[in-house]
Homo-oligomer: A and B are copies of this chain.
Amino acid sequence: MRNEVRRLRAARGLSQQALGVALGVSRQTVNAIEQDRYDPSLPLAIRIARHFGLTVEEIFHVDDA
């Protein structure tokens, strides 16, 4: 799964740390998601989408199906 998190975060001038705090996760988690090392849980994905005022599907793109 690819995602737009890095782009959205950078566009707002936030650090990974700051975004992590806003989302209630560690900066390592933000980093891992941005680099596609793993997918966020569903509740975290929904919080991310809300944070950026977008839908989950606008931020997270399934490669295969």
Size of the chain A interface, CB-CB below 8 angstroms: 17
Number of copies of this kind of chain in the complex:
2
Q: Which residue from chain B places its CB closest to the CB of A46 in the assembled complex?
A: B62
- Which residues of chain A (1-56) have a CB below 8 Å from chain B? 1, 39-43, 45-47, 49-50, 55-56
A55 contacts which chain B residues (CB < 8 A)?
55-57
CA distance A45 to B40 in the complex (A): 12
17 residue pairs from A and B, CB less than 8 Å apart: A1-B42, A1-B43, A39-B42, A39-B43, A41-B41, A41-B42, A42-B42, A42-B45, A42-B60, A43-B62, A46-B56, A46-B57, A47-B62, A47-B65, A55-B55, A55-B56, A56-B56
